[in-house]
Copies of this chain bind each other. A is one copy, B any other.
């Protein structure tokens, strides 16, 4: 169901309307009046006759005309009855302000679940609970009780009312931009992040979507929606609650699940979301992305009136943001040299070296020359512009204003963005207000100006890459295999959550993975027979559902080369297995050929709380254990994504061959990653898989050990994997 009738409600009822000025039920109506809401307002309170001139209804269902949305300001315990009444009336949705739910722990969770059930039963969707409300700035449907929110084309979705207030205040004080909507998602109990996203994707007046998130209930569906949305509109997101203390705090606030930051980061990036870590950057980045043309080829020029700012900007753009600062074309340099003093620097960064001191309109001329350079896709101006009238001579401000007009038109004409840092921005000289009128972003923070330039480039890179992957389709080669289903069913029937090593390997084998199909020997003679048939060095490993850590139980022997060794090993393993776990159900011992030496890697999958199935790849040994050098992806993955994942780990160059070694078979690793993706897709019972180690060769790979853990019986809430398909 669309949120149309909720977020664009034409009629709203305030449940808990009050005559007491400090009460939310009073403030809500007053704000709607003050802000001139275009729709109809109804007051609901059985104890009052009227509030602010509105007749009070006893209940929502008493209202004669249709009601789209209800703001419920009454306490938690009243909610089931109110929702029932709303359902009766055919109300589309409710905004539930009350707190005291999941964020308080156990009893809160029960209360919240009851609330969710009531809403479902009566077919009422709701925002919240524990929310500051919502605002539609187009119709002045302001249910927050906050006046003078600046209007604009940024949709704000926030899980913290205070963060929303911070962003709205910042917009009001510092910018010309504002918002199309604000939604406080609160506990996200009913309407989910991805639903808001879909609505704003389709809203013609929203150009960028700004999000503050602590935890998500349906991360997968959010990613799916974000993937589609980000092709049309930028999504800017700050995700907090990374640290354990942050989680403690986020937990106390909304009871939301805080996610593993590494998984979130790559998942968001792949969905085209611009993530921001520094809250100061959140609004400026959204403002810039909603206004300025994007940067197409990652190349930026810097124009400065002094060295310091240019040097810092160059450091930030190249070191931290991965933007190129190319040298300028010879023609460009010549043209600049002609209009600037001989002490000026006409490489990139360009330093006017006092050349603008008596005529700052020269900045516009420099910008025109620079943006004409075929190697330059955008311009960052840093320094004093806008403050020449303040710093040097009052009369210079006219020249600055002239320059501002020229710069504004230059952006429109060239289709290349200009971002301006001015240390005078907070003093608001008119020239800078003019730039803002032309939608040129202006900041007094050099770091933020750089970051804004950086995201224009980041967005350009993403959209550029996307065009290269238009034909990209997830490749679902694998269907479940009946024999594999049987293995899983058998384990479940036996009450096992962990498959035996040969069972896990068999499933991989059935899907064509490079793994030995190890027979189980139940006697030393059988083991020897298998050994003789294999005719190579073998490993013996104990097989028992009761022994998970085989090595600890003395259940593993490697490099056995003779009949005698095999026989002895068999007996010793059996003996130490029995010693280790006298009651253990020992099924036998597998005899598998020793893998040839190669490079060890590790592949694992698991179910992430927020994003469902995820896959991990890393180099074996200390690289994973000590350096935590791993890459994550939300499943399923494409061939391309598998390839990027492999190249993403810090130790990836080892795979390309170092110290004279030939390269390892990265294509085979990619195939194995894809295969894991397919297996997780094919068997929804799988909770975790662990291939540790896998040996990689110049050609091919080989799985040496495989582990599969099944889910705990309770079904997950994950969206079907295939719904990510384009």
Nearest CB of B to A376, in Å: 14
Q: Which of B214, B240, B318 contacts A244 (CB 8 A)?
A: B318
> Does B318 lie within 8 Å of A243, measured CB to CB?
yes
> Does B160 lie within 8 Å of A307, measured CB to CB?
yes
> Does B447 lie within 8 Å of A306, measured CB to CB?
no
Query: Inside 8 A of A248's CB, which chain B residues have their CB?
Result: 314, 347-349
Count chain A residues whose beta carbon lies closer than 8 angstroms to a beta carbon of B: 85
| Copies of this chain, count | 2
A to B CB contacts below 8 Å, 20 in the list: A104-B343, A160-B308, A161-B306, A162-B306, A166-B309, A173-B427, A212-B308, A240-B308, A240-B315, A241-B315, A242-B315, A242-B319, A245-B349, A252-B351, A253-B351, A279-B447, A280-B448, A626-B653, A626-B654, A626-B658
> Does A308 lie within 8 Å of B253, measured CB to CB?
yes
Given contacts A308-B161, A308-B253, contact A279 B446 (CB under 8 A): yes
Q: Is A100 an interface residue (CB 8 A)?
A: yes
Query: Inside 8 A of A393's CB, which chain B residues have their CB?
Result: 22
Nearest CB of B to A536, in Å: 26
Q: Is A711 an interface residue (CB 8 A)?
A: no
Q: How far is the CA of A343 from the CA of B393 in the complex (A)?
A: 57
Q: Is A510 an interface residue (CB 8 A)?
A: no
> Does B423 lie within 8 Å of A166, measured CB to CB?
yes
Q: Is A169 an interface residue (CB 8 A)?
A: yes
Q: Is A250 an interface residue (CB 8 A)?
A: yes
Q: Is A584 an interface residue (CB 8 A)?
A: no
> Does A249 lie within 8 Å of B351, measured CB to CB?
yes
> Does B243 lie within 8 Å of A314, measured CB to CB?
yes
Nearest CB of B to A610, in Å: 16
Q: Is A625 an interface residue (CB 8 A)?
A: yes
Q: Is A165 an interface residue (CB 8 A)?
A: yes
Query: Inside 8 A of A212's CB, which chain B residues have their CB?
Result: 308
Q: Is A312 an interface residue (CB 8 A)?
A: yes
Q: Contact flags (1/0) for A668-679 with B, using CB distance below 8 Å? A: 000000000000
Query: Inside 8 A of A244's CB, which chain B residues have their CB?
Result: 318
> Does A160 lie within 8 Å of B318, measured CB to CB?
no
Which of A306, A307, A358 has its CB near the most chain B CB atoms (within 10 A)? A307
Nearest CB of B to A73, in Å: 14
Query: Inside 8 A of A214's CB, which chain B residues have their CB?
Result: 307-308, 311
Q: Is A622 an interface residue (CB 8 A)?
A: yes
Q: How far is the CA of A353 from the CA of B242 in the complex (A)?
A: 22
Q: How far is the CA of A348 from the CA of B251 in the complex (A)?
A: 12
